[in-house]
Structures are given as structure tokens and as C-alpha cells.
Amino acid sequence: QVQVVESGGGLVQPGGSLRLSCAASGSTFKIYAMGWYRQAPGKERELVAVLISGGTTNYAESVKGRFTISRDNDKNTVYLQMNSLEPDDTAVYYCNANVRRRAITPREDYWGQGTQVTVSS
């Protein structure tokens, strides 16, 4: 199996910063992409940022220039540095890993349990 564990959420004032971490462990023959999604109350889950193996990144328009995704390949860990946070960034942030567990198995998505980010004064 594959485990995806997030950490780093919390309460921050507008304009502040937070860094989220997400580690994938277990049967990870190959990780194709790792990324962050978020879901605010009453809204659908949306992509925040994704990092594809090879280094390609993709960001939601609303976070470009404020958030940065990076990865430590040796640790199968991805980070989301969030700067200039706004109240609209308040949501539960979920980490996703797109993984092939073994050479003969298909690619699958695995999700973390989510971490709350609250931006409020």
C-alpha cells in the first residue's frame, strides 16, 4: 500500500506564510506526480499546485506568484510554501500522489487525510 501524510497546517494572519509538507511512503515503485488540492466549505475540491516527475509544475491562477511547490525526491516528500496568504486561501489542503506501486500495476491516486489552513485576523 501507499501512505500519504500531510503536516504543517494551522492558523495564520492575512499576509503571513505557512509551509505544508507531504510524504509518500510504502510501495512506491514510481511516483509520477505529487500535488496539493484544497476544499473550502461549500466548495468543490480544486487543484492548488502539482509537480510532475521531470520538474514540470502547474499552479492555480489564484496562487501564482504566492505559492511554490517543491520536492525532495530522496524523501518522496513534497512541500508547499505559501506566502502572502489571504482569507480566501482558508481550506482543508489535501496532498495527492500519483503512484505505480509495482512495475506491473497501474498508476493510482493516493490521498492524505488533509490539513486545515485558516487565514484570519
Q: Which of 28-37, 51-60, 82-91 has the highest mean pLDDT?
A: 82-91
Average pLDDT over residues 48-75: 94
Residue 28 has pLDDT above 90, yes or no: no
Question: Hey, CA dihedral for 10, 28, 107, 31, is it positive or negative?
Answer: positive
Cβ within 8 Å of residue 54, ≥6 positions away: none
Confidence of residue 55 (pLDDT cuts 50, 70, 90): confident
Residue 73 has pLDDT above 90, yes or no: no
C-alpha to C-alpha distance for 25 and 47, rounded to whole angstroms: 22
Cβ within 8 Å of residue 104, ≥6 positions away: none
* Higher-confidence position of 74 and 5: 5
